[in-house]
Structure 1
């Protein structure tokens, strides 16, 4: 895929190979409970920017860039978010002005959201890729939401670790074998692991399996769950885990241990790596995830804005249009490391860490073997159960030493049970067949 999120100017056609029945639902950041702020007469309810620092920075962006409406930004976990919207719309007493969430957060609310096709028409010249507009239709013919922002995951590298790279390896074009050899060499040379993993209670490590490791080894996810290639991937992961910092089970993100020097190399969400190079950006590089037998699997994150039925659509449109301006979206990039969906020339004065990340994602999307993966959609309260399947595979295979074939066979039954309950189709990189329940292979 030659198009990039970060070309200059900021113009690209995001290569989403998805049918209209498919969906993207990665978790940028989520935590239990709600976080609210007062001072506004228009409520913006969202699943995004739940960490206090991110939320405060976004509130300032709202205050600085939305001049005609006083906005109160309330963030909460996905389950509570869904319940709030459905309850208010059902009761005909809607106090929420607009909502913001990942594609998968919004898809289950399709019947509760206003048709915003007219607003989509007004924003048709903003440079938002057609593929993103197609996603907003949620399988129908009308726009149910407006694209908001996008992101992905990359590998952060302290330059001190580069001396341990395997001979002839290119840090920007690593294979999974070279990634493992790097971890082994670094551990042996320094006497301690140089590689870390965000495997804490709130870490996004399940996205590594769902969007990177397994697609890269198998070319799929659900339909290849028990395949010989999946067994190979998990066997690899067990060996990689032996060479990772064992404190990784305490890491909810890698930017903190990397900033402290506990970890020199690690994969995480761009928003959870951005603080690592903050003090000494010249000591760092950001690079794509490794390449596997089936390609460079990576996960694309897409979020959007919606308007609950019965809300003040005109006022919501005012806020959405203000947040869709290039300067506003670039400020979100600058402050919270989520990238614009609109056409916008990337400024030269971005924070150094964000520039490093933009280089890594450009290399990822420009790779000839790039393979887009999307997290599940339409799972509702079952989303956590699907994530837990992959976490349990990691625990049993990598931490407890169980045989991958046995674990995958047992977990396949759990995964199929969940999919049968919610009756959702597969999602990329698996083949998408609208109306058919995804079948574990």
Structure 2
């Protein structure tokens, strides 16, 4: 399977955006002699440890101090260091949206991309890295998405004639309803715990599939129907979902048989017995198959120290070997061109197939996490979480709940003056607002 086929973006002039953030900032790199690498990626300790091992193996020089931090901390750290004129961070790694507020502070990296011509980055990825300008502000690093993991035990309740790889939301609800009745308990779960990514389900999957957008139609009649659907789906979901951070854990223990989550947070479940599992695309709704595309990049601040060494680290991380390491260990897909390697772990290969089916669907709607919102990313995501709490957990009226949260969302977006991101119209150039 071609990497370029797997992640053909087709986003036009829209900026592509990214994944989750990590925790635990420090500036040890400056004092220890190691090059300081600040990133919003690889927050779980296991992921961070695996990536640190990859760095040590693939980057022979210089030594690198990898510091993973939450998106808000990332934004604050970069801004404060630049304003103080005391930049200690040499390399930045973040989602497209994490880097977006700092484009004026980032080096132009077209020359470096020219040196990386053998990496065969897709033209779409390079164009996205330009943020609508003339030059690339980062080098594409890795990409990912979210899919459904299905234990084959759950297939006994799949309605007759329904293709598990080509589900509608109505079919999925019927399936999970039948499964709850047949199993005597819910079998579907979402990562709806405090550290889970369930807000990405609403932002990138549910709302785009029902409304065609994420922000502008936030409180539209179509959005009301989406949240009414979500109430029905939640009624046949395990209540313990509000405790789950990563769905691979309840899947592995058998607490749930079907789950939606980020590809990196599903891998452990099918790893030992892949013959018992399927990975399938998310369902489609009235507007199409909404899915979220995650793209991360590597950038360098104009005032960063050790810029030449930072570029050497980027070169080392944009080889096929290094990106295959990340794919095998942490489940993030390569940005460099070429075929995916043979002999992939079965779980990774299944995810690649599901992602490919999702993106190649004729009615696919590519969605992005919030772009250009900086330190308000958490607050904006909280709006979507609060909709879930009000409507699904507290049984509040849908329309009034959406109206209330729309006012909060509009106020936040006015603060940062962020334009809309896909799938909303990105051509207006004005501050994105709920209609």
Counterpart contact for 1:28–1:269, Cα < 8 Å: no
- Bigger Cα displacement from structure 2, 349-358 vs 205-214: 349-358
Distance in 2 of aligned mates of 1:355 and 1:248: 27
- Bigger Cα displacement from structure 2, 268-277 vs 218-227: 218-227
Distance in 2 of aligned mates of 1:76 and 1:177: 39
Taking the TM superposition and a 5 Å limit, the aligned residue runs for 1:302-321 are 302-310=295-303, 311-321=305-315
Distance 1:302 1:384, change over 3 A: same
Distance 1:340 1:40, change over 3 A: farther
Distance in 1 of aligned mates of 2:37 and 2:275: 38
- Bigger Cα displacement from structure 2, 142-151 vs 123-132: 123-132
Counterpart contact for 1:89–1:309, Cα < 8 Å: no
Residue deviations 1:207-261, cap 9 Å, x none? 0000000100111121111211111110000000000000000001110000000
* Secondary structure, aligned partner of 1:139: coil
Q: Are residues 1:17 and 2:7 paired? A: no
Distance 1:345 1:391, change over 3 A: same
Q: Are residues 1:437 and 2:421 paired? A: no
Distance in 2 of aligned mates of 1:214 and 1:238: 14
Counterpart contact for 1:426–1:437, Cα < 8 Å: yes
2:379 maps to 385
Counterpart contact for 2:19–2:295, Cα < 8 Å: no
1:65 maps to 58
Distance 1:115 1:8, change over 3 A: closer
Distance in 2 of aligned mates of 1:81 and 1:225: 28
Distance in 1 of aligned mates of 2:77 and 2:40: 12
2:22 maps to 30
- Bigger Cα displacement from structure 2, 80-89 vs 353-362: 80-89
Q: 1:83 offset after TM fit, Å?
A: 2.1
Counterpart contact for 2:40–2:95, Cα < 8 Å: yes
The one of 356, 359, 364 aligned to 1:362: 356
Distance 1:269 1:35, change over 3 A: farther
Counterpart contact for 1:36–1:73, Cα < 8 Å: no
* Secondary structure, aligned partner of 1:74: strand
* Secondary structure, aligned partner of 1:276: helix
CA RMSD of aligned residues (A): 1.7
Q: 1:398 offset after TM fit, Å?
A: 0.8
Taking the TM superposition and a 5 Å limit, the aligned residue runs for 1:244-323 are 244-310=237-303, 311-323=305-317
Distance in 2 of aligned mates of 1:407 and 1:86: 35
2:87 maps to 94
Q: 1:112 offset after TM fit, Å?
A: 2.0
Distance in 2 of aligned mates of 1:255 and 1:226: 33
The one of 328, 343, 358 aligned to 1:334: 328
Distance in 2 of aligned mates of 1:67 and 1:103: 27
Distance in 2 of aligned mates of 1:396 and 1:362: 34
Counterpart contact for 2:373–2:418, Cα < 8 Å: yes
Distance in 2 of aligned mates of 1:27 and 1:94: 25
* Secondary structure, aligned partner of 1:348: coil
Residue deviations 1:341-388, cap 9 Å, x none? 011322221111111111111111121111101111111121112111
The one of 188, 208, 212 aligned to 1:219: 212
Q: Are residues 1:421 and 2:415 paired? A: yes
Between the two proteins, the alignment pairs up a number of residues equal to: 432
2:342 maps to 348
Counterpart contact for 2:18–2:143, Cα < 8 Å: no
Counterpart contact for 1:24–1:376, Cα < 8 Å: no
* Secondary structure, aligned partner of 1:34: coil
Counterpart contact for 1:274–1:337, Cα < 8 Å: yes
The one of 131, 138, 143 aligned to 1:145: 138
Counterpart contact for 1:10–1:346, Cα < 8 Å: no
Counterpart contact for 2:129–2:140, Cα < 8 Å: yes
Counterpart contact for 1:13–1:129, Cα < 8 Å: no
- Bigger Cα displacement from structure 2, 193-202 vs 73-82: 73-82
Distance in 2 of aligned mates of 1:150 and 1:144: 17
* Secondary structure, aligned partner of 2:353: helix
Distance in 1 of aligned mates of 2:221 and 2:383: 18
Q: Which ranges of structure 1 fall in alignment gaps of 5 or more residues?
A: 1-6
Structure richer in helix, relative to its length: 2
1:177 maps to 170
2:229 maps to 236
- Bigger Cα displacement from structure 2, 377-386 vs 268-277: 377-386
Under a length normalisation based on structure 1, what TM-score does the superposition of the two structures give? Answer: 0.94
Q: 1:325 offset after TM fit, Å?
A: 0.5
